[in-house]
């Protein structure tokens, strides 16, 4: 399984996280409301978890912006995300929610573009992508639209990835997605040969340096093969899980038998 080669243990502060009012980044309109997110007790206890155990976590992250695209991320959801999974870039410190908003927005749009390409939704694709003679232009609306422009960039015909020029917006979408990944991952992946956990051999591993890189990689892996993630139908859980491991149809609806039983009890009680 491809995600076996991924490895990241990330930290969460046991005492939780809080929002504090903060200035927007430089060159943003000064009146843009903004918060930072930080651990309540930066000297408190930390627990660690393995990001790879939750291969659909990027979809939970996308939910921060999904109901309000182009706007500010949902602060309650951001807080609960941090309390469960930690900060995006640093293990401690303070992170600007405008940066969270942009990361969630970009990933949501990348997913939307992929989904539109898969479903051959030309109308939606043309909303995002303009295929020109010598370049592909991408437009994504971004909070708070600094300088009244959308976030956009152009993929030039001379770029390495454009071995074969796309015929239409669907093909162009499959060039845009790796390009968005490349821009967002930067140099935050550490790939190489590492000692295995039993000291009995070596193996190839990709180790993202932080949570946001791991999320981009999860997104990339999930769209680079058949969609396998599904949201647990137990309303108290709603975690995305890898449903290839489940054999029976009723099992595929829940991440665990605990959730299945809890959900069955709830339905009976109705």
Which residues bind to Zn ion, rule: CB under 5 A? Answer: 232, 234, 237, 255, 259
Handedness of CA 182, 118, 59, 2 (dihedral sign): negative
Q: Which of 159, 157, 149 is nearest to 183 (CA)?
A: 159
Nearer to Zn ion, 55 or 220 (CB): 55
Nearer to Zn ion, 114 or 254 (CB): 254
Q: Which of 118, 209, 120, 133 is nearest to 165 (CA)?
A: 133
100: alpha, beta or left? (left if phi > 0; alpha if psi -120 to 50) = alpha
Nearer to Zn ion, 169 or 234 (CB): 234
Beta bridge partners of 156: 135
DSSP state for residue 121 in the 8-state scheme: -
Residue 9 CB, nearest distance to Zn ion (Å)?
Answer: 22
Nearer to Zn ion, 212 or 255 (CB): 255
Nearer to Zn ion, 96 or 243 (CB): 243
Residue 82 CB, nearest distance to Zn ion (Å)?
Answer: 21
Nearer to Zn ion, 171 or 251 (CB): 251
Residue 247 CB, nearest distance to Zn ion (Å)?
Answer: 17
Exposure of 183 in the CB half-sphere (CA atoms within 13 A): 14
d(CA 102, CA 105): 5
Residue 260 CB, nearest distance to Zn ion (Å)?
Answer: 8
d(CA 45, CA 242): 30
Residue 66 CB, nearest distance to Zn ion (Å)?
Answer: 20
Nearer to Zn ion, 113 or 259 (CB): 259
Handedness of CA 89, 95, 99, 104 (dihedral sign): positive
Q: Which residues contact 119 (CB under 8 A, 6 or more apart)?
A: none
Q: Does residue 144 have a cis peptide bond before it, meaning omega lies within 30 degrees of 0?
A: yes
d(CA 16, CA 4): 30
Residue 4 CB, nearest distance to Zn ion (Å)?
Answer: 22
Residue 268 CB, nearest distance to Zn ion (Å)?
Answer: 18
């Amino acid at each position: 399984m491809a995600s076996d080669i991924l490895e990241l243990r990330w930290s969460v502060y046991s005492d939780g996280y809080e929002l504090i009012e903060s200035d927007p980044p430089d060159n943003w309109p000064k009146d843009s409301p903004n918060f930072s997110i930080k651990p309540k007790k930066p000297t408190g206890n930390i627990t660690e978890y393995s990001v790879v155990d939750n291969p659909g976590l990027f979809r939970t992250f996308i939910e921060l912006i999904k109901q309000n695209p182009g706007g500010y991320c949902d602060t309650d959801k951001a807080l609960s995300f941090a309390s469960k999974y930690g900060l995006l870039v640093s293990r401690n410190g303070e992170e600007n929610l405008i940066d969270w908003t942009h990361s969630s927005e970009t990933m949501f749009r990348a997913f939307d573009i992929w989904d539109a390409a898969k479903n051959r939704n030309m109308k939606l694709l043309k909303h995002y992508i303009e295929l020109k003679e010598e370049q592909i232009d991408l437009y994504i609306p971004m909070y708070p639209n600094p300088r009244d422009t959308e976030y956009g960039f152009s993929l030039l015909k001379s770029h390495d990835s454009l071995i074969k020029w796309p015929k239409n917006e669907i093909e162009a979408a499959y060039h845009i997605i790796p390009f968005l990944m490349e821009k967002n991952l930067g140099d935050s992946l550490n790939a190489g040969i590492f000692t295995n956990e039993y000291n009995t051999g070596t193996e190839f591993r990709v180790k993202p340096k932080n949570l946001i890189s791991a999320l981009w990689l999860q997104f990339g892996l999930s769209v680079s093969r058949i969609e396998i993630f599904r949201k647990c139908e137990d309303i108290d859980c709603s975690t995305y899980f890898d449903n290839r491991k489940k054999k029976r149809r009723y099992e595929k609806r829940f991440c665990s038998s605990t959730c299945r039983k809890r959900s069955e009890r709830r339905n009976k009680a109705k």
